[in-house]
Amino acid sequence: MSIRVGISQRPPALLNLQTSIDRALATIEEAAASGTRLLLFPEAYLPGYPTWIWRLRPGGDMAVGNRIHSLLRQNSVDIAAGDLDPICKAAAKHNMVVVMGMNELDAEFSGSTLFNTVVIIDADGTIVNRHRKLMPTNPERMVWGCGDASGLKVVQTAVGRIGCLICWESYMPLARFALYAQGLDIYLAPTWDGGETWHASMNHIAREGGCWVMSTATAIEGKDVPQEFPERDRLFKDDEWINSGDAVIVKPFGGLHAGPLHREKGILYASIDIQAAADSRKALDVSGHYHRPDLFHLEVDRRSLPALSLRDDD
């Protein structure tokens, strides 16, 4: 089955959830007009990756960091409150699988902790998986909590079997294997990374897993940061590229298929043959005939880990 896929690396409205959702909806409309069946957005697209954490002075910018984090929390996604409903409705309207990265608010227990989350919305508008990043990287741990493995799943969608890992989770070999062993067609890697080293890793994963690999960061310049952003002119320069985007699509068993889309605030399109993933595993199937289950065994605890369990009298 051949399908048209797209990767958007356009910038959101940093720290503005509603405007970022509006931009996502416009991108979905545009991609649908070209026949796209699967559309990937970058890591933490709603309402933007917290790139400021790599620029704040350790110990010296606590006050401004707290101000920014408060704005981020106020503009993060509460799934239970229906914040994703417009995206889900657009996916259903256009019979499109939409994969969206976001800052997610834990409204169920703490009411304040944020997670780096990616959701897969099937072509009927149903959220079929929510994966929270297992281990935030370096200063990201001042922004996001650690997710559990309840979303470490490959799910059947209208366009094939899809699994997601976020950014440097792709450097966690056991997490990768957990997806490979669930019959993976398309490996999605929304990220903040890019460049030759990252693309080499995506090529390795396509070869190792025998799957299509799609990855992108956000293509964003300093001038894209809203004027009202706290300490904007100190933290960002209008003429700098904060991130180049570098969207790529890699073929099963390796080899660049499309991209990289470098420093372009656009959508990378391509047609892919889903069956090529299974075909590529004839010689190397790391969770099948090229595995030694008598020697190696991976066990993943995918139970949700709630902070609280309540028992009330009937």
In terms of residue numbers, what domain contains 174? 2-280
Cβ–Cβ under 8 Å, residues 265 and 12 = no
pLDDT tens string 286-296: 999 999 999 99
Task: Give 200's contacts (C-beta < 8 A, 6+ positions apart).
Answer: none
Q: Compute the distance between CA of residue 308 and CA of residue 106 in angstroms, rounded to an integer.
A: 13
Q: Compute the distance between CA of residue 149 and CA of residue 160 in angstroms, rounded to an integer.
A: 22
Q: Compute the distance between CA of residue 256 and CA of residue 254 in angstroms, rounded to an integer.
A: 7
Query: Is residue 92 helix, strand or coil?
Result: helix
pLDDT tens string 226-271: 999 999 999 999 999 999 999 999 999 999 999 999 999 999 999 9
Per the annotation, the verdict on 88 as an active-site residue is: no
| Within-domain flag for 188 | yes
- Could you give the strand order of the β-sheet that contains 38-40, starting from the edge strand earlier in sequence? 127-132, 114-121, 97-105, 38-40, 2-8, 267-273
| Within-domain flag for 298 | no
| Within-domain flag for 297 | no
User: Pick the catalytic residue: 43, 104, 140, 208?
Assistant: 43
| Nearest C-alpha neighbor of 266 from the set 17, 35, 86, 42 | 42
Number of domains the chain is built from: 1
User: Pick the catalytic residue: 104, 133, 164, 169?
Assistant: 133
| Per-residue CA distances from 233 to 225, 242, 259 (Å) | 10, 14, 32
| Within-domain flag for 288 | no
Q: What is the pTM of this model?
A: 0.95
Q: Compute the distance between CA of residue 63 and CA of residue 61 in angstroms, rounded to an integer.
A: 6
| Nearest C-alpha neighbor of 305 from the set 82, 164, 152 | 152
Q: What is the average per-residue pLDDT within 101-126?
A: 95
| Within-domain flag for 149 | yes
| Within-domain flag for 307 | no
Asked whether the predicted pLDDT for residue 314 surpasses 70, the reply is: no
User: Pick the catalytic residue: 88, 153, 164, 167?
Assistant: 167
pLDDT tens string 41-71: 999 999 999 999 999 988 889 999 999 999 9
Per cent of the chain over pLDDT 70 is 100
CATH number for 184: 3.60.110.10
Which residue's structure tokens are 């792709």? 170
Per the annotation, the verdict on 108 as an active-site residue is: no
Average pLDDT, the chain: 96
pLDDT tens string 16-47: 999 999 999 999 999 999 999 999 999 999 99
pLDDT tens string 66-95: 999 999 999 999 999 999 999 999 999 999
Q: Compute the distance between CA of residue 80 and CA of residue 27 in angstroms, rounded to an integer.
A: 24
Instruction: Quickly state the pLDDT bin for 206 (edges 50, 70, 90).
Output: very high
| Nearest C-alpha neighbor of 50 from the set 7, 101, 8, 88 | 101
Looking at residue 97, its pLDDT comes to: 98
| Within-domain flag for 137 | yes
Q: What is the average per-residue pLDDT within 203-216?
A: 98
Per the annotation, the verdict on 43 as an active-site residue is: yes
| Within-domain flag for 75 | yes
Q: Compute the distance between CA of residue 33 and CA of residue 130 in angstroms, rounded to an integer.
A: 27
